[in-house]
Amino acid sequence: VPTKKLKKYEREYQTMRESQLQQEDPMDRYKRENRRLQEASMRLEQENDDLAHELVTSKIALRNDLDQAEDKADVLNKELLLTKQKLVETEEEKRKQEEETAQLKEVFRKQLEKAESEIKKTTAIIADYKQICSQLSTRLEKQQTASKDELEVVKGKVMACKHCSEIFSKEGTLKLPALSLDNKGLEIDDEKDALKKQLREMELELAQTKLQLVEAKCKIQVCGIQGLQGSLPEPKNGIYPYCCMHVNFQNPLIVCP
C-alpha cells in the first residue's frame, strides 16, 4: 500500500474517531477514561512493586558481594601478615647463614694456613730424611771401603811377615794345617756372620729411614688432600691409602713404587 494512502486512511480514521467521541455520552466517556486511568495506575503500581523487588534483590546481592569482598580482604590481610612474617624469618635465616658462611670461610682459611704450615714442616722433615739417607748411604759405602782397605792392609802385613806369610797362598787364601782347618773355618764363618749381621743391621736402618721418608711423603699427600677435601679414612696397617710407595723388605735398600 502506498504511503500517501496510509496517511489518508489515518486522517480519515482520526476524523471518524472524533465524530464518534462527540456523539458519545459524556458519562460513558468519563467512565471509560476512569477505567483507563485505573488500569494505568494498577500497571504503574505493579511496575513499582517489580522495581522495589528488584531493588531489594540488588541490595541483597550487593550485600553478599560486599561480605564476600570483606572476607576476601580479611584472607588477603592474613596472607599478607604471614608473608611478612615469613620474609622476616627468611631474612633472619639468610643473615645466620651468611654468618655461618663467614665462620666456615675463616675456619677453612685457618685450616688451610695450618695445612700449608704442616706441608712446609713436612717438606723440611723430608729434606732432613733425604740428607740422613744420603749420609747413611755414604757412611755405608765408606765403611765397606774402609773394611776392604783394612783387610788389604792386614793381608799385606801378614804377607810381609816371614812367619805369617806361610799361612797364606799367593792368591791370599789361608793355608792352615788339616787338623785346625775346621776350627779356623768356624771362626771365619763366625766373623763373616758378624759382618753380615752388621751389614744387615745397617741395611735395615737405612730401610727404616727410607720408610720414614715414604711415610712423610704420604703425610704430605694426606695433609694436602685434607685441606681441600676434608677428612680421610684412617690408615690401614699403618699405611695411608693415598701412599703410592712401600718398602721391599726382601731387599730393604729398595723402595718400590
Closest CA to 144 of 196, 94, 73: 196
Q: What is the pLDDT of residues 72-105, one digit of tens each?
A: 999 999 999 999 999 999 999 999 999 999 999 9
Closest CA to 219 of 129, 91, 147, 105: 129
Q: What are the grid coordinates assigned to 90, written together?
A: 627468611
CA count, 13 A, side-chain hemisphere, 102: 6
Closest CA to 216 of 151, 133, 125: 125
Q: How far apart are CA 26 and CA 24, in angstroms?
A: 6
Residue 257 forms part of a structural domain: no
Count of CB atoms situated within 10 Å of the CB of 109:
10
Q: What is the pLDDT of residues 110-133, one digit of tens each?
A: 999 998 998 898 888 888 878 887
Q: How far apart are CA 183 and CA 191, in angstroms?
A: 12
Q: What is the pLDDT of residue 255?
A: 42
Q: With a cut of 80, say whether residue 163 has pLDDT above it.
A: no
Least confident of 108-112, 138-142, 200-204: 200-204
Residue 176 forms part of a structural domain: no
Place of cell 676434608: 230
Mean pLDDT throughout 238-250? Answer: 43
Residue 86 forms part of a structural domain: yes
Q: What are the grid coordinates assigned to 219, written together?
A: 703425610
> Residue 25's domain spans which residues?
13-90
Q: What is the pLDDT of residues 166-198, one digit of tens each?
A: 655 555 555 555 434 455 556 666 776 777 787
Residue 119 forms part of a structural domain: no
Question: Kind and range of the H or E element at 230?
Answer: none
Residue 125 forms part of a structural domain: no
Using a pLDDT cut of 90, give the percent of the chain over it.
30
Residue 34 forms part of a structural domain: yes
Q: How far apart are CA 159 and CA 136, in angstroms?
A: 34
Q: How far apart are CA 181 and CA 38, in angstroms?
A: 170
Q: How many domains is the chain partitioned into structurally?
A: 1
Residue 71 forms part of a structural domain: yes
Residue 39 forms part of a structural domain: yes
Q: What are the grid coordinates assigned to 1, written together?
A: 500500500
Q: What are the grid coordinates assigned to 78, written together?
A: 592474613
Q: Is 244 helix (H, G, I), strand (E, B) or coil?
A: coil
Q: With a cut of 80, say whether residue 231 has pLDDT above it.
A: no
Maximum CA pair distance of the chain? Answer: 199
Mean pLDDT throughout 9-34? Answer: 77
